[in-house]
């Protein structure tokens, strides 16, 4: 029995077994071949697909136009006014508004009187604010006038006229804007992010009573469009939440803080919470592009022998030629006579009968007084007191005219009143009394990023000085 079993197990494979083995081998080889071919082709196709995607994306980059730089058409101005003040303030808006170039609306409380009808096309289009009585919180509102002003942002947005708008800029009917400088300032920021740009008040008390972290709306402030989109969804909720807040700008800063956005300061925005004579302030403007003025009607006219309308039109003569330089301070020293010239381009020129350092002259002369009375300190910046010392008191010359030449611009400044002082004889200096006028020659287009300019002085006889602005050499920055 065991022998029979051994013979069976040790016998050679049968014919059917051999066929089955061959079949298995053939199938196995076929499967391996199929797997190798299939996955290889899939890999090649994926590589080709990825390559095509890369090529398409690369070609799209080449075809898609680069985003244009921010220009005036990207700004939407939201201005607020009132029918009762429009007669006196219309001139301020007219001085800077550019028909068919600037975009925006001015919102009134009611329709203007027949005196202003039909509405001039040289002005921003007019809109009348919605009736606030529709708001549930209306009976509890502390300041309904300011609430109306605040909702102008929402009402402007609801007009659906915001194609290509990157910035909302707010202002009052007595705000004066320098729109070319505004564009330059806003171009420094990414308009696709949420930005709140402006400046606090010049006086400490105004900031203390409201907030040091808010932009004062009369001087204007700018909101990037993504921030506007977020704001309008919450604006009426903010009014309900902060119904007890008196000031619209204060309410705005609190609402934006709730949205996680803080104020970015820019020294070119000016609330001008000042009174009296502004000439000392404008003669030493901060090294920043002038963007806005406010409270023109509450200050004395900025040019001697002119009224308020005449003053704003006059400074715009220079601003419309070169806004980048307007009221920018340039300083030069004449060692032979021990004189210092301080040029506030397009506004005034000072001559000091003594050599003064730039660090001293950048402090404004306190010809003005604060908006609110009180004890010092009064201002958010350092000042120089008005002096009767002939070595410290300047000779004042004010902007008179402007001419464009082939390679530059000539502004002229004249003495409007005598200084009525003796010369600075303590230092044996030469008197500047004989000078009656000054001409300032400046390049037509300043270099990008220009911060400070110096100057050279020459003379035409005894009564005319010629000043040529140029880039400063290193040793000239320190007097």
Q: What is the CATH number of the domain that holds 139?
A: 3.90.550.50
For residues 103 and 246, state if they share a domain: yes
Q: Which residue has the tokens 């505004």?
A: 182
pLDDT of residue 461: 85
| Distance (Å) of CA 459 to CA 430, 435, 440 | 14, 10, 12
For residues 106 and 232, state if they share a domain: yes
Q: Does residue 407 sit within a domain?
A: yes
For residues 204 and 352, state if they share a domain: no
- CA 2 to chain CA centroid, Å, is 108
Of 222, 249, 265, which marks where a domain is finished? 265
For residues 347 and 437, state if they share a domain: yes
Q: Does residue 161 sit within a domain?
A: yes
Domain count, the chain: 2
For residues 172 and 86, state if they share a domain: yes
Residue partners of 284: CB distance under 8 A and separation at least 6:
329, 342, 344, 361, 362, 363, 364, 365
Of 221, 243, 265, which marks where a domain is finished? 265
pLDDT of residue 1: 41
For residues 108 and 256, state if they share a domain: yes
Q: Does residue 61 sit within a domain?
A: no
Q: Does residue 447 sit within a domain?
A: yes
Q: What is the 3-state secondary structure (H, E, C) of the chain?
A: CHHHHHHHHCCCCCHHHHHHHHHHHHHHHHHHHHHHHHHHHHHHHHHHHHHHHHHHHHHHHHHCCCCCCCCHHHEEEEEECCCCCHHHHHHHHHHHCCCCCCEEEEEECCCCCHHHCCCCCCCCCEEECCCHHHCCCHHHCCCHHHHHHHHHHHHHHCCCCCCCCCEEEEEECCCEECHHHHHHHHCCCCCCCCCEEECCCCEHHHHHHCCCCCCCHHHCEEEEHHHHHHHHHHHHHHHHHCCCCCCHHHHHHHHHHHCCCCEEECCCCCCCCEEECCHHHHCCCCCCCCCEECCHHHECCCCCCCCHHHHHHHHHHHHCCCCCCCCCEEEEEECCCCEEEEEECCCEEEEECCCCCHHHHCCCECCEEECCCCCCCCECCCCECCCCCCCCCCEEEEEEEEEEECCEEEEEEEECCCCCCCCCHHHCCCCCCCCCEEEEEEECCCCCCCCCEEEEEEEECCCEEEEEEEECCHHHHCC
Q: Which residue has the tokens 């506004």?
A: 347
| Distance (Å) of CA 404 to CA 120, 144, 414, 473 | 31, 49, 18, 26
C-alpha to C-alpha distance for 345 and 411, rounded to whole angstroms: 8
For residues 336 and 245, state if they share a domain: no
For residues 256 and 350, state if they share a domain: no
For residues 338 and 228, state if they share a domain: no
Q: Does residue 282 sit within a domain?
A: no
pLDDT of residue 406: 83
Contact present, 219 and 272 (Cβ < 8 Å): yes
For residues 341 and 243, state if they share a domain: no
Q: Which domain holds residue 408?
A: 329-477
Q: Does residue 289 sit within a domain?
A: no
Per-residue pLDDT for the chain (479 aa), expressed as one digit of tens each? 433 433 434 444 444 444 444 455 454 545 454 444 444 454 434 444 444 544 444 444 444 456 799 999 999 999 999 988 999 999 999 999 999 999 999 999 999 998 998 999 999 999 999 999 999 999 999 999 999 999 999 999 999 999 999 999 999 999 999 999 999 999 999 999 999 999 999 999 999 999 999 999 999 999 999 999 999 999 999 999 999 999 999 999 999 999 999 999 999 999 999 999 999 999 999 989 999 999 988 899 999 999 999 999 999 999 999 999 999 999 999 988 999 999 999 999 999 999 999 999 999 999 999 999 888 999 999 999 999 999 999 999 999 999 998 889 999 999 999 999 999 976 667 899 999 999 999 987 665 555 678 899 999 988 999 999 988 876 665 55
Of 224, 240, 265, which marks where a domain is finished? 265
For residues 232 and 381, state if they share a domain: no
For residues 260 and 408, state if they share a domain: no
Q: Does residue 29 sit within a domain?
A: no
């Amino acid at each position: 029995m065991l022998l029979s079993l051994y013979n069976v197990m040790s016998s050679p494979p049968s014919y059917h077994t051999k066929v089955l083995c061959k079949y298995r081998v053939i199938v196995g080889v076929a499967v391996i071949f199929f797997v190798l071919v299939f996955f290889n082709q899939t890999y090649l196709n994926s590589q080709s697909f990825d390559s095509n995607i890369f090529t398409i994306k690369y070609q799209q980059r080449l075809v898609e136009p680069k985003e244009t730089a921010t220009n005036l058409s990207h700004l939407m101005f939201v201005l607020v006014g009132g029918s009762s003040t429009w007669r006196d303030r219309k001139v301020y808006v007219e001085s800077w508004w550019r028909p068919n170039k600037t975009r925006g609306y001015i919102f009134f409380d009611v329709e203007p009187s027949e005196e202003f009808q039909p509405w001039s096309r040289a002005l921003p289009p007019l809109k009348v604010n919605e009736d606030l009585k529709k708001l549930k919180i209306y009976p509890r509102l502390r300041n309904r006038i300011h609430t109306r002003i605040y909702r102008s942002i929402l009402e402007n947005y609801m007009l659906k006229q915001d194609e290509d708008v990157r910035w909302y800029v707010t202002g009052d009917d007595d705000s004066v804007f320098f729109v070319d400088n505004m564009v330059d300032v806003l171009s420094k920021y990414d308009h696709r992010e949420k930005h709140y740009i402006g400046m606090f008040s010049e006086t400490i008390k105004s900031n203390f009573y409201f907030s040091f972290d808010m932009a004062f709306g009369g001087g204007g402030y700018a909101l990037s469009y993504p921030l506007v989109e977020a704001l309008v969804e919450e604006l009426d909720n903010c009014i309900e939440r902060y119904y007890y807040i008196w000031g619209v700008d204060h309410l705005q800063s609190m609402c934006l803080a709730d949205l996680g956005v803080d104020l970015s300061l820019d020294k070119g925005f000016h609330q001008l919470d000042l009174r009296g004579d502004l000439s000392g302030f404008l003669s030493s403007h901060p090294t920043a592009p002038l963007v806005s003025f406010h409270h023109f009607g509450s200050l004395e006219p900025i040019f001697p022998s002119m009224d308020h309308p005449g003053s704003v039109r006059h400074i715009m003569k220079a601003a419309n030629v070169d806004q980048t330089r307007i009221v920018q301070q340039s300083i030069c020293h004449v060692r032979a006579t021990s004189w210092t010239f301080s040029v506030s381009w397009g506004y005034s020129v000072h001559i000091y009968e003594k050599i003064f350092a730039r660090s001293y002259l950048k402090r404004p002369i306190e010809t003005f007084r604060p908006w609110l009375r009180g004890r010092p300190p009064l201002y958010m910046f350092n000042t120089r007191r008005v002096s009767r010392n002939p070595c410290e008191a300047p000779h004042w010359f004010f902007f008179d005219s402007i001419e464009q030449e082939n390679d530059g611009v000539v502004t002229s400044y004249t003495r409007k009143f005598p200084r009525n002082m003796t010369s600075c004889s303590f230092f044996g200096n030469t008197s500047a009394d004989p000078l009656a006028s000054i001409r300032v020659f400046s390049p037509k287009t300043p270099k990008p990023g220009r911060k400070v300019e110096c100057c050279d002085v020459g003379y035409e006889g005894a009564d005319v000085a010629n000043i040529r602005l140029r880039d400063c050499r290193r040793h000239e920055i320190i007097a």
